[in-house]
């Protein structure tokens, strides 16, 4: 038995031609995932493909009106918009979260909806430790001091601008023991840290080989608290003035999950008052943030522009998974369906 070779994009042209070559496929917001030379032409083997870097509510009807398949990242497809797209049969979300799509409205129309779970696990875990190592080793601060001439003017072979510390023996509390939380835990163990896992208040604990402790106890014991739980009604503003009060004043809070897990004003107040030592955030409640966001002027905060998912390797996995999801749908398979 022979198989058709894959082309340079990773797609299988022979399989694609047997599917629905006349399907109109439109990607509505590729700007972020297209960074550097990664493009979405892989989807052209599945039908008539067009892509737009960004799409507003004003332009969505014109761009999507005849599409049988839409590929979206953050573009909102609510009930009203879906109702105006009679040809639509498939929505492929280029992310793990799919709250930008009205699943109930899609179900009523028989529209398939897929997502891409797990593609960014290693990428996000890496950013968590980039934050941790920057906070504990102060690499950029010491490099800047050297470049500015401080070492050249120093009488000693070594100097410090601020104390640096070891991770070995420190306690890290992982809030949410899913794939990313577990990846963070494995890295932490390699640094000889003590890992405690916790669920949100009221959630049932699942058995695992890591120390599981109640939420408040985890906050109180941790040198580092890192958030990896989904955003739900239960977890919205999980970190607030009350929960911040349980944390050590020397602790580092990390959020690479969802911005609304944190009450931003409460966190800013805690940082500015010295109630909390530092915070490192890759997500905010509003993205991009308004200039009046209190965290932009808070003390001892490091903020990155939602890049945890965006390593090149993770984006390559994402692109291939989006292709696979649509190809499998056309072949009658149920890969990564979230509408049923």
Domain membership flag for residue 216: yes
| pLDDT score recorded for residue 340 | 82
The rounded distance, in Å, linking the Cα atoms of 92 and 100 is 11
One domain, residues 81 and 165:
no
Instruction: Report the percent of the chain where pLDDT is more than 70.
Output: 90
Domain membership flag for residue 177: yes
One domain, residues 176 and 288:
yes
One domain, residues 112 and 129:
no
Instruction: Point out the catalytic residue in the list 228, 258, 317, 319.
Output: 258
| pLDDT score recorded for residue 202 | 57
Tens digits of per-residue pLDDT, 105-116? 999 999 999 999
Average pLDDT on 60-87 reads: 95
For residue 306, the SS3 value is coil
One domain, residues 185 and 320:
no
| pLDDT score recorded for residue 308 | 96
Domain membership flag for residue 8: no
One domain, residues 135 and 175:
yes
Cβ pair 145, 151 in contact under 8 A: yes
Question: Which single residue is written with the structure tokens 């573009």?
Answer: 75
One domain, residues 156 and 218:
yes
Give yes or no: 135 in active site: no
Tens digits of per-residue pLDDT, 292-335? 999 999 999 999 999 999 999 999 999 999 999 999 999 999 99
In 3-state terms the chain splits into helix, strand, coil percentages (rounded to 5) of 35, 15, 50
Give yes or no: 189 in active site: no
Give yes or no: 258 in active site: yes
One domain, residues 129 and 109:
no
Average pLDDT on 114-136 reads: 97
Domain membership flag for residue 95: yes
DSSP single-letter state for residue 44: G
What is the CATH number for 283? 3.40.50.720
The rounded distance, in Å, linking the Cα atoms of 222 and 244 is 12
Domain membership flag for residue 5: no
Domain membership flag for residue 320: yes
34: pLDDT confidence band, cut at 50, 70 and 90? confident
| pLDDT score recorded for residue 199 | 79
Alpha helical stretches, state H, 22-120: 60-64, 79-83, 103-109
Q: Residue 188: is its pLDDT beyond 80?
A: yes
DSSP string, 282-296: S--SSSSPPTT-GGG
Half-sphere exposure of 264 (CA within 13 A, CB side): 20
One domain, residues 168 and 285:
yes
Instruction: Point out the least confidently predicted range of 4-8, 59-63, 71-75, 294-298.
Output: 4-8
Q: Residue 211: is its pLDDT beyond 70?
A: yes
Q: Residue 1: is its pLDDT beyond 60?
A: no
| pLDDT score recorded for residue 19 | 46
Domain holding 181, by residue range, is: 121-303
Across all residues in the chain, what is the average pLDDT?
A: 90
One domain, residues 130 and 242:
yes
Cβ pair 136, 165 in contact under 8 A: yes
pTM check: above 0.95: no
204: pLDDT confidence band, cut at 50, 70 and 90? low
32: pLDDT confidence band, cut at 50, 70 and 90? confident
**Of 205, 215, 253, 260, which Cα lies nearest the Cα of 233?**
260
| pLDDT score recorded for residue 41 | 84
End-to-end CA distance of the chain: 35
One domain, residues 174 and 63:
no
Domain membership flag for residue 338: no
Tens digits of per-residue pLDDT, 242-277? 999 999 999 999 999 999 999 999 999 999 999 999
DSSP lists the bridge partners of residue 50 as 26
Instruction: Point out the catalytic residue in the list 108, 287, 313, 316.
Output: 287
Domain membership flag for residue 7: no
Q: Residue 11: is its pLDDT beyond 70?
A: no
Instruction: Point out the catalytic residue in the list 109, 142, 306, 337.
Output: 306
Instruction: Report the percent of the chain where pLDDT is more than 90.
Output: 82
| pLDDT score recorded for residue 58 | 87
Structural domains counted in the chain: 2
| pLDDT score recorded for residue 208 | 56
One domain, residues 183 and 77:
no
Q: Residue 3: is its pLDDT beyond 90?
A: no
Average pLDDT on 148-162 reads: 94
Which long-range CB contacts under 8 A does 325-329 form with residues at least 24 apart? Answer: 325/92, 325/114, 325/116, 326/25, 326/43, 326/46, 326/69, 326/71, 326/90, 326/92, 326/114, 327/11, 327/12, 327/15, 327/16, 327/19, 327/46, 329/90, 329/112, 329/114
DSSP string, 146-208: HHTTTTTT-SSS---SS-----TT-EEEEES-SHHHHHHHHHHHHTT-EEEEE--TTPPPPP-
Cβ pair 72, 92 in contact under 8 A: yes
Pairing of strands 90-93, 48-51: unpaired
One domain, residues 139 and 269:
yes
């Amino acid at each position: 038995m022979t198989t058709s070779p894959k082309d340079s994009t990773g797609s299988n042209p022979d399989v694609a031609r047997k599917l629905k070559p006349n399907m109109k496929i439109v990607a509505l917001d590729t700007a972020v995932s297209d960074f550097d030379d990664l493009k979405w032409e892989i989807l052209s083997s599945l039908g008539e493909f067009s892509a737009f870097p960004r799409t507003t509510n004003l332009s969505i009807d014109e761009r999507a009106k005849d599409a049988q398949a839409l590929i979206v990242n953050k573009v909102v497809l609510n009930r009203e918009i879906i109702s105006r797209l009679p040809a639509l049969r498939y929505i492929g979300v280029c992310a793990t979260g799919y709250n930008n799509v009205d699943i109930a409205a899609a179900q009523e129309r028989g529209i398939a909806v897929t997502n891409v779970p797990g593609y960014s696990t290693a990428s996000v875990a890496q950013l968590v430790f980039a934050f941790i190592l920057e906070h504990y080793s102060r690499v950029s601060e010491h490099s800047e001091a050297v470049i500015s001439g401080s070492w050249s003017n120093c009488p000693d072979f070594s100097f410090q601008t601020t104390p640096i510390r070891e991770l070995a023996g420190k306690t890290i509390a992982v809030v949410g023991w899913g794939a990313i939380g577990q990846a963070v835990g494995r890295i932490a163990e390699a640094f000889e840290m003590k890992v405690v896992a916790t669920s949100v208040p009221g959630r049932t604990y699942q058995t695992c080989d890591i120390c599981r402790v109640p939420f408040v106890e985890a906050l109180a014991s941790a040198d580092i608290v890192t958030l990896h739980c989904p955003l739900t009604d239960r977890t919205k503003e999980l970190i607030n003035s009350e929960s911040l009060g349980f944390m050590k004043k020397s602790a580092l809070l990390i959020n690479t999950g969802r911005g609304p897990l944190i009450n931003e004003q409460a966190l800013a107040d805690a940082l500015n008052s010295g109630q909390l030592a530092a915070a490192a955030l890759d997500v905010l409640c509003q993205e991009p943030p308004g200039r009046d966001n209190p965290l932009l002027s808070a003390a001892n905060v490091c903020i990155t522009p939602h890049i945890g998912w965006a390593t090149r390797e993770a984006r390559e996995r994402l692109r291939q998974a989006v292709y696979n999801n649509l190809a499998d749908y056309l072949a009658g398979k149920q890969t990564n369906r979230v509408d049923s």
